Amino acid sequence: MVKYWQRFSAVAVGGFIGGAMRESLELLLQAPNFPFATLLINLTGTFLAVFCTVWFTEKRHVNQLLTDFISVGILGAYTTYATLITETSTKLAPISGMVYIAVSILGSVGMVYLGRWLARKVVHEV
């Protein structure tokens, strides 16, 4: 049985890593007129979240602490749609903002299907 402090620690350490990854990409991919880093983070975060969910579900022997560390900790801190909404309302003109939101949402839905397909392919080949 996973104890509270173990889960808390796994999520906290994962959150530190995910937040650091997010900030690193934000700093590396600075663009004054369009939030490319946030778009990339949201798309890759969606893909990784779905991939990990399928992987952890179909590989039934995955440790719960590892699941919490990656899914809740790393990916929870790495991607957030609150940033998408904030950047859209503060940095972009209305038309650009609508395009950005549409690409983010449609791209993320595409990443769900891609992540699910690839995870199942990997799980069944291993």
Residue positions forming the annotated binding site for Na(+): 76, 79
Distance between CA 95 and CA 92 in Å, rounded? 8
Q: What is the total residue count of the chain?
A: 126
Residues sharing a CB contact under 8 Å with residue 31, sequence separation 6 or more, in sequence order: 37
What is the C-alpha to C-alpha distance for residues 20 and 32, in angstroms, rounded to an integer? 21
- Contact 8/15 with Cβ under 8 angstroms? no
Who contacts 38 (Cβ-Cβ below 8 Å, separation ≥6)? 26, 83, 84, 87
3-state SS class at 29:
coil
Q: Which residues are annotated as a binding site?
A: 76, 79
